[in-house]
């Protein structure tokens, strides 16, 4: 054998050996990673080979599965009242994956979760019967929030203060998850993605906004908890206008005729006096305000409810003028509607915050509970005295102040309006907030946060009482069963 042939033979042998090593590596080491890869179509085919489990609202499924033709996917996801519940369910798409509860509980809903496996399934490797996700959503409350927001861009969250059960999660504009559940719905998804209204964004849980004057409840709680004032009716030392140390630009009040000079916390909440709360924030200092905010849920990372919600933030490293602005919910303070509903829920519940959750339990195909989220897991946020005093002040806001549009005859309603600036030099349309609670007969109660991002109203007509309070009122009425 000549040298050229011998070298070629050795080279070919090395190529064969390299190929064998690579095949062995792929089968022994990379097999699981390749099998689990999101781009592995076999996984998607297997996922939709059987009907999916359901997301349940008030005992009825708001999801389903439909047999398909002309595709290797046997079933596709369907939705009942898709736009109404989109902020709760998210979507399950053969092409795009899954979001919200569909994503968080994908393995339960497609039957691959190990907790669903019987002994027989374990031995044979067969897919288990899909499980269900049972939510805490109240359809009447959800419908009231969705109808109230209507064509407006915004969000609403309702919570039972005593249990932490989330009764409604709505984000508008919404979308129908059914339109993007198939394997060839890329064009529909692109249209939604490019929509200027951003309907795929869950504004209730994933969008943060400057809370504006609604944040004054946190500052008021901090003032009482830290002993700056003993009572909401105690006179404060607050000039109007107020100029924070280190600046020559005064902070003024929207209503220049309001009795804000040296006003009590109760009066300052009633008339939404910026000057009072800006000075309180400076007097307390950012560390004390931040500590109170953290107890309510700010600056604690993403919230798990049990889908992830964005973190709400009270900023650090502020100078005194910036601290003053933070006291009225501006500068870099940001909050989700969920977070502001939590603030009100804690105050309505005597100062204790019940862990918010929108799933009560997860069941297997036979209805057996395999995971639950019990009510009653509470954390003390502020003292009972502070909570009761702020309830009194919030009731006064609704009865005599800036929140009169939320009044419900025969029902205790407390609230706080907010009109938050946004955009450079306040160039954007202000956000209209209303946060509130209501206590009805039979122990029924609810805490609500509503934000209207855009409504089509003239800039001068944007207000928490005018835009957000009527929506909150309809939500509270639905939760209490009032007519």
Q: Which residues are catalytic?
A: 213
Ramachandran sector of residue 443 (left: φ over 0; alpha: ψ -120 to 50; beta: rest):
left
Distance of CA 431 to the CA centre of its chain: 17
Of 93, 71, 103, 274, the residue nearest 189 (C-alpha)? 93
Phi first, then psi: give them for residue 371, nearest 5 degrees: -160, 140
CB 113 within 8 A of CB 107: yes
Q: Cα angle at 78 between 76 and 83, to 5 degrees?
A: 140
468 DSSP assignment: I
List of long-range contacts for 283-290, beta carbons under 8 Å, 24+ apart: 283/228, 284/219, 284/222, 284/223, 284/226, 284/228, 285/323, 286/314, 286/315, 286/316, 286/318, 286/323, 286/326, 288/222, 288/226, 289/218, 289/219, 289/222, 289/314, 289/323, 289/326, 289/327, 290/314, 290/316
Beta strands at 153-159 and 166-172: parallel, antiparallel or unpaired: antiparallel
Phi first, then psi: give them for residue 76, nearest 5 degrees: -135, 160
Q: Cα angle at 322 between 320 and 326, to 5 degrees?
A: 110
Query: What are the structure tokens assigned to 245, written together?
Result: 């140390």
Distances from the Cα of 225 to the Cα of 291, 329, 345, 469, angstroms = 11, 19, 17, 28
Query: What are the structure tokens assigned to 60, written together?
Result: 């009825």
| Angle between helix 82-89 and 139-149 (nearest 10) | 110
Distances from the Cα of 125 to the Cα of 95, 117, 119, 130, 365, angstroms = 26, 9, 10, 15, 17
CB 145 within 8 A of CB 159: no
Cβ neighbors of 297 (< 8 A, separation 6 or more) are 303, 312, 339, 342, 343, 353
Beta strands at 308-309 and 303-304: parallel, antiparallel or unpaired: antiparallel
Q: Beta-carbon neighbour count of residue 443 at 10 Å?
A: 7
């Amino acid at each position: 054998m000549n040298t050229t042939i011998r070298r070629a033979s050795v080279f070919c042998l090395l190529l064969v050996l390299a190929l064998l090593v690579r095949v062995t590596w792929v089968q022994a080491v990379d097999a699981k990673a390749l099998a689990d890869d999101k781009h592995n179509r076999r996984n998607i085919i297997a996922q939709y080979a059987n009907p999916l489990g359901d997301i349940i609202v008030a005992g009825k499924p708001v999801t389903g599965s439909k047999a398909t033709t002309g595709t290797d996917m046997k079933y596709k996801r369907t939705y009942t009242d898709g736009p109404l519940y989109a902020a709760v369910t998210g979507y399950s798409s053969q092409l795009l994956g899954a979001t919200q509860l569909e994503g968080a509980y994908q393995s339960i809903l497609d039957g691959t979760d190990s907790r669903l496996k019987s002994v027989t399934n374990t031995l044979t490797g067969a897919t288990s019967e899909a499980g269900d996700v049972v939510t805490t959503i109240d359809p009447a409350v959800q419908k009231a929030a969705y109808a109230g927001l209507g064509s407006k861009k915004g969000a609403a969250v309702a919570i039972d203060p005593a249990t932490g059960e989330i009764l409604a999660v709505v984000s508008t504009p919404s979308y129908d998850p059914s339109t993007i559940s198939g394997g060839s719905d890329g064009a529909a998804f692109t249209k939604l993605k490019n929509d200027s209204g951003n309907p795929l964004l869950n504004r209730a849980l994933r969008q943060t906004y400057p809370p504006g004057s609604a944040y004054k409840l946190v500052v008021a709680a901090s003032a009482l908890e830290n002993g700056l004032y003993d009572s909401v009716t105690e006179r404060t030392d607050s000039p109007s206008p107020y100029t924070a140390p280190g600046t020559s630009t005064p902070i003024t009040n929207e209503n220049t005729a309001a009795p804000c000079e040296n006003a009590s916390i109760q009066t300052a909440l009633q008339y939404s006096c910026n000057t009072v709360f800006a000075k309180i924030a400076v007097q307390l200092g950012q560390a004390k305000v931040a500590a109170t905010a953290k107890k309510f849920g700010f600056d604690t990372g993403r919230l798990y409810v049990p889908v992830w919600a964005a973190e709400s933030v009270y900023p650090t490293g502020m100078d005194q003028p910036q601290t003053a602005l933070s006291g009225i919910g501006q500068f870099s303070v940001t909050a989700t509607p969920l977070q502001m509903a939590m603030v009100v829920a804690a105050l309505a519940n005597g100062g204790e915050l019940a862990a918010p959750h929108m799933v009560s339990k997860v069941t297997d195909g036979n209805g057996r509970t395999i995971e639950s989220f019990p009510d009653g897991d509470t954390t003390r946020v502020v003292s009972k005295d502070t909570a009761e005093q702020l309830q009194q002040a919030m009731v006064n806001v609704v009865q005599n102040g800036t929140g009169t549009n939320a009044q419900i005859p025969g029902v205790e309603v407390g609230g706080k309006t907010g009109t938050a600036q946004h955009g450079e030099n306040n160039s954007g349309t202000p956000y209209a907030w209303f946060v509130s609670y209501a206590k009805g007969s039979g122990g029924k109660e609810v805490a609500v946060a509503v934000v209207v991002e855009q409504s089509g109203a003239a800039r001068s007509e944007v207000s928490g009482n005018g835009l957000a309070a009527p929506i909150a009122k309809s939500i509270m009425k639905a939760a209490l069963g009032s007519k």
